[in-house]
C-alpha cells in the first residue's frame, strides 16, 4: 500500500545514484516551507551578527543621552534604550554573543557526549553503569539551575557561560547517543565489521557513529535554540554575559525598569530570543523529516 515500499520503489536505484542521497534530503527539506524560512532567517541572523558593525550607522556601545528612550522610528527602527543606544544595532550585536556562546556550548556538550555516549553504548558493562549513573544525577538537576550554579561559580564571560551551558546538555545528548549506539551495536553489519577484525575505534568511527548522525544533527540544532534561550535566561538574571556587552537577556533585564513607559526596550530583544529559538526548532524539525523520512507523519 502507499507506504515506504511504494516510495522506495518510486525512487529507482539509478535515480538515487545519479543525484546522490543528499539531493533527496535537500528535496525533502525544501518541501518543508517553514524549515526553509527558518534556515533563511538563521543565515540572515548570522550575517547580521558578523557584519553588524557595517550594517547600521550606530555603534552598539556609544551612549547618546540626547536620543535616549526613543520609541521605534525611521531612524531607529527598534527605538533606543535608556542610554540612547540603537536597539536594532544592539540586537544584531547581541546575536553575535548568543549564537557564538550557544554554538560553543553545544559543541562542547556534543564532544563530551560523543566520548561518553560511545564508551557507555559500545562497551557497556561497568563503564556504562558508571557513566549513566552520573548522567542520572546530572539530569535530575533542572537544566537552568545547574547552568546558574556553574555560571555563578565560574564567573561571567563568553567561554565560561558556554561551559555553564554545556554541562546540562551533556546528559541528554549522552543518553540519546548511547541508546542509538546500543541499538546499532548488535546489528549484523557491525558483527560483520568485527568479524573482519576492525578495531573498536575504527568500527565506532566508520560504522556506528555515521549511523547515529541523523538524530545527533537534529538534536544539535534543537539544542542550539534551547541554549540561546537558556543564555538569555542566565543573562537576564545577572549571570552569564554582563553589560556592557549586549546580550538579548541582559537587554531585557535592563529594559525591565521601563516596562510601563517604554515596553519596546523589552519586547524587541525578547522577540529576538523567541525568533531565534523558533527558527532553530523549525529547522530541527525540518532536518528530522529530511534526514529520516520514516519519522514523518
Partner 1 sequence: MIKYVIKRILMMIPVLIGVVIIVFTINYFSEVSPAVILAGANATAEDIAAKNAELGLDRPYLVQIGSYFYNLIFHGSMGTSYIYKQPVISMIATRMPYTLTIGIIAAAFSAVVGIVLGILGAVKQNSIFDYISTTLSIICAALPPFLVCLGLMLVFSVHLKWLPIQGINGWKSYILPIIATGLSPIAMTARMTRSSILEVIRQDYIRAARAKGVPEGVVVWKHTLKNALIPILTVVGMNFGLSMTGSVICETIFNIPGLGLLMASSISQRDFITTQGCVLVCAFIVCVMNLLTDLCYALVDPRIKAQYKNTGKSIKKRSIQKGGAAA
Partner 2 sequence: MSLLEIKNLEIRFNTDAGVVHAVNGINLTIEEGESFGLVGETGAGKTTTALAILNLLQSPPAEIVSGEIIYKGQDILKMSKNKLREIRGEEISMIFQDPMTSLNPVMTIGEQIMEAVKYHSGKSAADAQLRMLEMLEKVRIPAERSYDYPHQFSGGMKQRVVIAEALAANPALLLADEPTTALDVTIQAQVLDMISSLQKENKTAMLLITHDLGVVAETCKRAAIMYAGEIVEIGTVEQIFDSTAHPYTKGLFNSIPSLDKKTDRLMPIRGLMPDPMDLPKGCKFAPRCPYADESCINECPPLKDLGEGHYCKCHHADKGAPLYFPDEKGNELAYEHGLPVSNPGNDFLGKGDGPNGK
| Residues forming the site for partner 1 (CB under 8 A) | 133-134, 136-138, 140-146, 148-150, 152-155, 175, 179, 225, 229, 232-233, 236-239, 249, 252-253, 256, 259-260, 263, 266-267, 270-271, 273-275, 277-278, 281-282, 297
Contacts of 32 (CB under 8 A, 6+ apart): 285, 286, 289, 290
Chosen residue from 7, 44, 71, 201 binding partner 2 by CB under 8 A? 7
Give the residue among 149, 181, 187 at the shortest CA–CA distance from 165: 149
Binding partner of 74, given partner 1, partner 2, none, CB within 5-8 angstroms per partner class = none
Q: What are phi and psi of 187, to 5 degrees?
A: -70, 160
Give the other-Cβ count within 10 Å of 278's Cβ.
15
Residues 10-49 as x/- pattern, contact with partner 2 by CB under 8 A? x---------------------------------------
Q: What are phi and psi of 86, to 5 degrees?
A: -70, 125
In the complex, least distance from residue 296 CB atom to partner 2, rounded to whole angstroms: 9
Residue whose grid cell is 515506504 = 4
Binding partner of 138, given partner 2, partner 1, none, CB within 5-8 angstroms per partner class = partner 1
Task: Let me know: does 80 contact 88? Beta carbons within 8 Å.
Answer: no
DSSP code of residue 81: -
Number of residues that bind partner 2 (CB under 8 A): 7
54 near partner 2 (CB under 8 A): no
User: Which residues lie near partner 2 (CB under 8 A)?
Assistant: 1-2, 5-7, 9-10
Amino acid at each position: 500500500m502507499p507506504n515506504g515500499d511504494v516510495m522506495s520503489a518510486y525512487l529507482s536505484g539509478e535515480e538515487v545514484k545519479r543525484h546522490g542521497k543528499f539531493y533527496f534530503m535537500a528535496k525533502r527539506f525544501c518541501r518543508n516551507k517553514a524549515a526553509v524560512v527558518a534556515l533563511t532567517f538563521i543565515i540572515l541572523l548570522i550575517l547580521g551578527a558578523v557584519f553588524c558593525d557595517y550594517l547600521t550607522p550606530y555603534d552598539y556601545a556609544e551612549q547618546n543621552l540626547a536620543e535616549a528612550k526613543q520609541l521605534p522610528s525611521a531612524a531607529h527602527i527598534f527605538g533606543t534604550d535608556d542610554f540612547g543606544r540603537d536597539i536594532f544595532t544592539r540586537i544584531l550585536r547581541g546575536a553575535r554573543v548568543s549564537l557564538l556562546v550557544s554554538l560553543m556550548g553545544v559543541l562542547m556538550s556534543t564532544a563530551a557526549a560523543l566520548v561518553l555516549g560511545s564508551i557507555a553504548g559500545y562497551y557497556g558493562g561497568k563503564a556504562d553503569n558508571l557513566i549513566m549513573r552520573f548522567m542520572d544525577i546530572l539530569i535530575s538537576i533542572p537544566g537552568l539551575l545547574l547552568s546558574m550554579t556553574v555560571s555563578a561559580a565560574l564567573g561571567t564571560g563568553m567561554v565560561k557561560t558556554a561551559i555553564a551551558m554545556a554541562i546540562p546538555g551533556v546528559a541528554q545528548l549522552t543518553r540519546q547517543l548511547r541508546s542509538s549506539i546500543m541499538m546499532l551495536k548488535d546489528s549484523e553489519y557491525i558483527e560483520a565489521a568485527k568479524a573482519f577484525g576492525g578495531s573498536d575505534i575504527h568500527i565506532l568511527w566508520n560504522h556506528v557513529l555515521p549511523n547515529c548522525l541523523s538524530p545527533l544533527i537534529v538534536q544539535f540544532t534543537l539544542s542550539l535554540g534551547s541554549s540561546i534561550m537558556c543564555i538569555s535566561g542566565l543573562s537576564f538574571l545577572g549571570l552569564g554575559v554582563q553589560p556592557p556587552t549586549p546580550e538579548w537577556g541582559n537587554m531585557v533585564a535592563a529594559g525591565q525598569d521601563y516596562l510601563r513607559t517604554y515596553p519596546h526596550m523589552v519586547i524587541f530583544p525578547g522577540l529576538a530570543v523567541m525568533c531565534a529559538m523558533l527558527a532553530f526548532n523549525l529547522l530541527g524539525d525540518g532536518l528530522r523529516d529530511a534526514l529520516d523520512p520514516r519519522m514523518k507523519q
